[in-house]
Amino acid sequence: MRSLLPGAERPVVQFENVGMRYGLGPEVLSDVSFRIAPRSFQFLTGPSGAGKTTLLRLILLSARPTRGLVSIFGEEVSGISAKALTGLRRRMGVVFQDFRLLDHLTTYENVALPLRVQGRTEASYRAEVVELLRWVGLGERMHALPPLLSGGEKQRAAIARALIARPDLLLADEPTGNVDPGLGRRLLRLFLELNKLGTSVVIATHDFGIMDAVDARRMVLGEGRLRIEE
């Protein structure tokens, strides 16, 4: 449901005075408000333990805010139905900090997963998946199981899995944390490319090397508060 007027387009993500705590612990995030515009590119940064992963989990709806409003693709998510939740998740791609590849599936099967769970037949997506795998440099490793992949290869497999379903929103948690600077820059170019094609991208990182390489909005977390640097 997109508006006809480009300027009035609904934000992909909108937080209003969101607070979040784990159990009875202290508030990890307090009064966080921001919007992520369609087709935008931003970094989410802050020191380790600042709450970057927590904020991404709130967007992913794998954690619920203790207070405040979270809207994803224009939909307020408190009390969302399981069916609608699945629909929202199919429009998002995620690269987890720890990859979360399924160890009993091959690289190819892992990358194809978002298409497979939509009930598509293997024949309908095979070429697409192979093409993407070759493009991220995993053409020779499609049959390998994740435990046999190097850190960089796992990273690329996780990114390919996040991209394969052509999401409207891509979330990446420390995507360059485990790779050498050269590969890190190549992965960054990949995200920029994807962004040019229309996907909103949020990259959580504390790697100043890659942040300084791109002139993009920075969302800085510190002591539970969010500060935006345009």
Ligand X SMILES: Nc1ncnc2c1ncn2[C@@H]1O[C@H](COP(=O)(O)OP(=O)(O)O)[C@@H](O)[C@H]1O
Q: Which residues contribute to the site for ligand X (CB under 6 A)? A: 22, 25, 28, 46, 48-54
Q: What is the DSSP string of the chain?
A: ---SSGGGPPPSEEEEEEEEESTTS-EEEEEEEEEE-TT-EEEEE-STTSSHHHHHHHHHTSS--SEEEEEETTEE-TT--HHHHHHHHTTEEEE-TT----TTS-HHHHHHHHHHTTT--HHHHHHHHHHHHHHTT-GGGTTS-GGGS-HHHHHHHHHHHHHTT--SEEEEESTTTTS-HHHHHHHHHHHHHHHHTT-EEEEE---HHHHHHS--EEEEEETTEEEEE-
Residues that bind other proteins (CB under 8 A): 60, 62, 82-83, 86, 89-90, 94, 100, 102, 104-106, 108-109, 112-114, 116-119, 122, 126-132, 134-140, 142-143, 161, 163-166, 186, 190, 193-194, 196-198
100 or 143: CB nearest ligand X: 100
45 is a site residue for Mg ion (CB under 5 A):
no
60 or 213: CB nearest other proteins: 60
10 or 66: CB nearest ligand X: 66
Q: Of the candidates 14, 30, 53, 199, which one interacts with Mg ion according to CB under 5 A?
A: 53
**Least distance between other proteins and beta carbon 133 (Å):** 8
20 or 112: CB nearest ligand X: 20
